[in-house]
Structure 1
Amino acid sequence: MAFTKGHGTGNDFVVIPDPEGQLDLSDDQVAALCDRRFGIGADGILRVVRSAQLAEGAAALAEEPAAEWFMDYRNADGSKAEMCGNGIRVFAKYLLDSGLTTLNAGSTLPVGTRAGVRDLTRSDSGFQVDLGRWRIEEADTLVRARGLSVPRPGQGIDVGNPHVVVALQSVDELESLDLTVLPQLDPVPPHGANIEFVVPGDPLVHDGVGSIRMRVFERGVGETLSCGTGVAAAALAVRHWAGPAAPDHWRVEVPGGTLGVRMFPTEEGEHVALSGPASLVFSGEIALAG
Structure 2
Amino acid sequence: MSHPLAEPESDHLAPSLRQLNGVSFTKGHGTGNDFVLLLDSGGDLELTPAHVSALCDRHLGIGADGLIRAVPSSELPEGRELLGAAPEAVWFMDYRNGDGSIAEMCGNGVRVFVHFLAETGTIDLPVGGQVVIGTRAGVRTVHRTETGYSISMGPWSFIDPEMALESASDSLVRASGLPEPRPALSISMGNPHTVVALSPQEDLDQVNLHEKPQVDPVPPNGTNVEFVVPQEPLVSDGIGHVRMRVHERGVGETMSCGTGACAAAAAVRVWAGAEGADSWLVDVPGGTVQVDFVRNEDGAEDVILSGPAELVYSGTVN
TM-score, normalising length from structure 1? 0.97
Query: What does residue range 163-174 of structure 1 map to in structure 2 within 5 Å?
Result: 163-174=193-204
Q: Answer whether contact 2:159 2:219 (CA < 8 A) is retained.
A: no
2:104 equivalent among 79, 82, 86 = 82
How far off is 1:244 after superposition?
3.1
Q: Does 1:201 align with 2:215?
A: no
How far off is 1:105 after superposition?
4.2
Specify the alignment match of 2:20 in structure 1: none
1:36 equivalent among 34, 37, 58 = 58
Q: Answer whether contact 1:125 1:275 (CA < 8 A) is retained.
A: no
Q: Does 1:125 align with 2:147?
A: yes
How far off is 1:188 after superposition?
2.0
Which piece of structure 1 moves more, 219-228 or 19-28? 19-28
2:308 equivalent among 273, 277, 281 = 277
The superposition leaves residues 29-78 of structure 1 with CA deviations (integer Å, 9 ceiling, x where unpaired) of: 10000000000000000000000111111122123110000000000000
Q: Aligned with 2:115: secondary structure?
A: helix
**C-alpha separation between the residues in 1 aligned to 2:74 and 2:240?**
41
How far off is 1:170 after superposition?
1.1
Q: Does 1:216 align with 2:238?
A: no
Query: What does residue range 34-183 of structure 1 map to in structure 2 within 5 Å?
Result: 34-138=56-160, 139=163, 140-183=170-213
Aligned amino acid, residue 216 of structure 2: D
Q: Does 1:244 align with 2:274?
A: yes
**C-alpha separation between the residues in 2 aligned to 1:204 and 1:245?**
9
Aligned amino acid, residue 114 of structure 1: R
Pairwise CA RMSD? 1.0
The superposition leaves residues 218-251 of structure 1 with CA deviations (integer Å, 9 ceiling, x where unpaired) of: 0010000000000000000000100034110000
Q: Aligned with 2:274: secondary structure?
A: coil
Q: % of aligned pairs identical?
A: 55
Q: Answer whether contact 1:263 1:272 (CA < 8 A) is retained.
A: yes
Aligned amino acid, residue 204 of structure 2: L
Specify the alignment match of 2:12 in structure 1: none
| Unmatched tracts of structure 1, length 5 or more | none
Q: Does 1:8 align with 2:30?
A: yes
Aligned amino acid, residue 283 of structure 1: S
Q: Answer whether contact 2:171 2:183 (CA < 8 A) is retained.
A: yes
The superposition leaves residues 235-274 of structure 1 with CA deviations (integer Å, 9 ceiling, x where unpaired) of: 0000010003411000010000000000001113210010
Q: Answer whether contact 2:127 2:146 (CA < 8 A) is retained.
A: no
**C-alpha separation between the residues in 2 aligned to 1:28 and 1:36?**
14
Q: Answer whether contact 1:235 1:250 (CA < 8 A) is retained.
A: yes
How far off is 1:108 after superposition?
2.1
Q: Aligned with 2:259: secondary structure?
A: helix
Q: Answer whether contact 1:249 1:263 (CA < 8 A) is retained.
A: yes
The superposition leaves residues 121-162 of structure 1 with CA deviations (integer Å, 9 ceiling, x where unpaired) of: 022430000000110133411100001110001100001100
| Unmatched tracts of structure 2, length 5 or more | 1-22, 164-169
